[in-house]
Amino acid sequence: MTPMDTATPQAEWKDSVQPALVFSFVILICLEACIWLRNHGQKRSPPGPFPWPVVGNAMQLGQLPHLTFCKMAQKYGNVFQIRLGNQDIVVLNGDSTIREALVKHSKEFAGRPNFSSFQLISGGKSIAFGGYSTLWKAQKKIAHSTLRAFSTVNTKTQNLFEKHVAAEAQDLIRVFLRLTSEEQYFDPTRECTVAAANVICALCFGKRYSHDDEEFKALIGRNDKFGQTVGAGSLVDIMPWLLTFPNPVRSLYQSFKDLNWEFYDFVKEKISHHRQTYKPEITRDMSDAFISHIEQAEEAGHGLSKDYVESIVNDILGAGQDTTATALTWILLLLIKYPDIQQKLRDEIDLVVGPNRLPSADDKVHLPYVQAFIYETLRFSSFVPVTIPHSTTSDVLIDGFYIPQDTVVFVNQWSVNHDGSKWKNPEVFDPSRFLDEDGQMDRDAAFGVMIFSVGKRRCIGDQLSMLQIFLFTTIFLHQCTFQGNPKEIPTMDCTSGLALKPLPYGMSVTARAGYTTTEEPA
Q: State residue 230 phi and psi, 5-degree precision.
A: -105, 0
Please name the helix (run of DSSP H) or strand (run of DSSP E) that holds residue 205, with its range, or none: helix 189-205
Per-position DSSP letters for 119-177, written without gaps between them: GGGGGGT-TTTSPPSHHHHHHHHHHHHHHHHTTTSSHHHHHHHHHHHHHHHHHHHHHHH
Q: At what angle do helices 368-381 and 308-337 cross, to 10 degrees?
A: 100
Please name the helix (run of DSSP H) or strand (run of DSSP E) that holds residue 179, with its range, or none: helix 155-183
Closest CA to 193 of 222, 151, 158, 229: 222
Task: Give residue 257's pLDDT.
Answer: 81
Closest CA to 471 of 378, 320, 379, 367: 367
Residues 108/393, Cβ–Cβ less than 8 Å:
yes
Instruction: Give CA–CA dist 174/233, Å, rounded.
Output: 40
Residues 391/407, Cβ–Cβ less than 8 Å:
yes
Do the domain assignments include residue 4? no
In sequence order, the 6+-apart residues with CB closer than 8 A to the CB of 399 are: 77, 78, 79, 97, 100
Please name the helix (run of DSSP H) or strand (run of DSSP E) that holds residue 396, with its range, or none: strand 396-398
| Domain of residue 421, residue span | 47-511
Q: Exposed, middle or buried: residue 276 (CB in 10 Å: 0-12, 13-18, 19+)?
A: exposed
Do the domain assignments include residue 268? yes
User: What CATH number is associated with residue 395?
Assistant: 1.10.630.10
In sequence order, the 6+-apart residues with CB closer than 8 A to the CB of 56 are: 82, 83, 84, 85, 86, 87, 238
> 266 to each of 41, 123, 133, 295, how far by Cα in Å?
53, 12, 27, 22
Do the domain assignments include residue 471? yes
Do the domain assignments include residue 1? no
Instruction: Give CA–CA dist 140/474, Å, rounded.
Output: 31
Do the domain assignments include residue 398? yes
Compute the C-alpha angle 248/253/258, nearest 5°: 125
What are residue 409's DSSP bridge partners?
90, 390
Instruction: Give CA–CA dist 452/123, Å, rounded.
Output: 23
Task: Give residue 43's pLDDT.
Answer: 79
Do the domain assignments include residue 2? no
459 is in an annotated binding site: yes
Where are the alpha helices (H) located in 46-133, listed in sequence order? 65-76, 95-99
Task: Give residue 425's pLDDT.
Answer: 96
Do the domain assignments include residue 24? no
Instruction: Give CA–CA dist 261/312, Å, rounded.
Output: 15
Q: State residue 181 phi and psi, 5-degree precision.
A: -70, -30
Per-position DSSP letters for 268-319, written without gaps between them: HHHHHHHHHH-BTTB--SHHHHHHHHHHHHHHTT----TTHHHHHHHHHHHH
Instruction: Give CA–CA dist 80/102, Å, rounded.
Output: 16
Tally of structural domains, the chain: 1
Do the domain assignments include residue 498? yes
What Rg value do the Cα atoms of the chain yield, rounded?
Answer: 28
Instruction: Give CA–CA dist 145/250, Å, rounded.
Output: 39
Per-residue pLDDT 10s for the chain (522 aa) are 444 444 454 545 445 545 555 555 556 555 555 544 444 455 799 999 999 988 889 889 888 999 999 999 999 999 999 998 888 999 999 999 999 999 999 999 999 998 888 888 888 889 998 999 998 998 999 898 888 887 764 555 567 788 889 999 999 999 999 999 999 999 999 999 999 999 988 888 888 888 888 777 777 766 666 665 655 556 677 777 777 777 777 777 777 788 888 888 889 999 999 999 998 888 888 999 999 888 765 555 567 888 899 999 999 988 878 889 999 999 999 999 999 999 999 999 999 999 999 999 999 999 999 999 999 999 999 999 999 999 999 999 999 999 999 999 999 999 999 999 999 999 999 999 999 999 999 999 999 999 999 999 999 888 889 999 999 999 999 999 999 999 998 888 988 878 899 999 999 999 998 776 665 555
Q: Are strands 87-92 and 408-411 parallel, antiparallel or unpaired?
A: parallel
Compute the C-alpha angle 510/514/515, nearest 5°: 65
